[in-house]
Amino acid sequence: MPELPEVEITRRHLAVALEGRRIERVVIGHPRTSRLNASPEEVAARLQARSVISLDRHGKLLLGNLDDGQIVLAHLGMSGRFRISPPGSPFDPHTHAVITLDDGAEVRFVDPRTFGFVAVIDGDEVEGSPLSRLGPDAWERPPTVADLQRQLAGRSASIKALLLDQRHIAGLGNIYSDEALFHARVRPTRPAGRLGPVPIGRLLTAIREVLGAAIESGGTTLDDLAYLLPDGQAGDNLPNLAVYGREGLPCPACGTPVSRVVIRARSTHFCRRCQR
């Protein structure tokens, strides 16, 4: 599942291919791939002949700044990936968008489960867009302990549920939420409002460490779901995972079998001994 580290790696690769280039042609081949009330044809038309000035990221959203002030929003969903391909090379199955650049390179969007999307907004339309619903970026602008404690005050929902809520911190998904909670030694089921400044501080530190290590190693490629870097390589972060996907396997810290519960319809992995 692409989360902040995978999107950041994707951004770095795509920035090299896209920044300063002119978009010659865009084809979006799946109706679900264009969003925000725009048809595939409308999105394609708005991108045509525009130049990409820079490529940013906020949480799991990729943000392409165009020369006319428009912003391209791209979300990988749970199975989306971008691939930079030479023209004429065979298409991967589930290729739903192709962006042809003025140097001939093709940026292709592959997304079997179609939870991802590509959309365009005007620079002054940020209000009301998915971008406006995101809290501070978990990597670039993490909240302070005081900020986060204020956000969580009085909340009865579990800390895991609120970590997944992009309005508080943007960028964590199921994998890195579980990993951060493990390293912070906080049980994911704990009501968020009952966490004091000390565990919240440990959580913020753990988020930095977990995201940093994942970015450093090129992101997490699970065996089944093929998140791949835009050059087709796999990420190397899987061995760094302590609890995610490891139900019944020994906790790397104490050897206790890793537990699994379901929170907000998401698998949640933790060590019942290390995380109290």
Partner DNA sequence: AACGATCCCTGTTGGC
Partner DNA sequence: TGCCAACAGGGATCGT
Q: Which of 50, 57, 60, 187 is catalytic?
A: 60
Neighbouring residues of 12: CB distance < 8 A, sequence distance ≥ 6: none
Rounded to an integer, what distance in angstroms lies between the CA atom of residue 85 and that of residue 231? 8
Q: Which of 2, 40, 130, 136 is catalytic?
A: 2
Q: Which residue stretch of 11-19, 65-73, 77-85, 101-109 sits at the interface with DNA (rule: CB under 7 A)? A: 77-85
Query: CA Rg, the chain, in Å?
Result: 19
**Minimum distance between the CB of residue 230 and DNA, rounded to whole angstroms?**
19
What amino acid is encoded at 29 in this protein? Answer: G
In this structure, what is the dihedral angle of CA atoms 175, 176, 182, 184, given to the nearest 10 degrees?
A: -170
Size (the chain), residues: 276
Structure tokens that stand for 161 in this block: 């549920």
Nearer to DNA, 23 or 263 (CB): 263
Residue choice 13, 60, 81, 108 for contact with DNA (CB under 7 A): 60
Q: What is the x/- site pattern for DNA, positions 217-256, by CB under 7 A?
A: ------xx--------------------------------
Residue choice 5, 40, 64, 77 for contact with DNA (CB under 7 A): 77
Rounded to an integer, what distance in angstroms lies between the CA atom of residue 170 and that of residue 137? 5
40 binds DNA (CB under 7 A): no
**Residue 160 among the catalytic residues:** no
Q: Which residue stretch of 161-169, 194-202, 204-212, 248-256 sits at the interface with DNA (rule: CB under 7 A)? A: 161-169
DSSP state, 92? Answer: P
Q: Which of 12, 208, 266, 272 is catalytic?
A: 266
**Residue 216 among the catalytic residues:** no
3-state secondary structure of 165: coil
Q: How far apart are the first and last CA of the chain?
A: 27
**Residue 42 among the catalytic residues:** no
Q: How many other CB atoms are found less than 10 A from the CB of residue 107?
A: 23
The catalytic residue positions are 2-3, 60, 266
Binding site for DNA (CB under 7 A): 1, 3, 32, 59-61, 75, 77-79, 93-94, 112-115, 130, 133, 155-158, 161-162, 164, 166, 173-175, 193, 223-224, 264-267
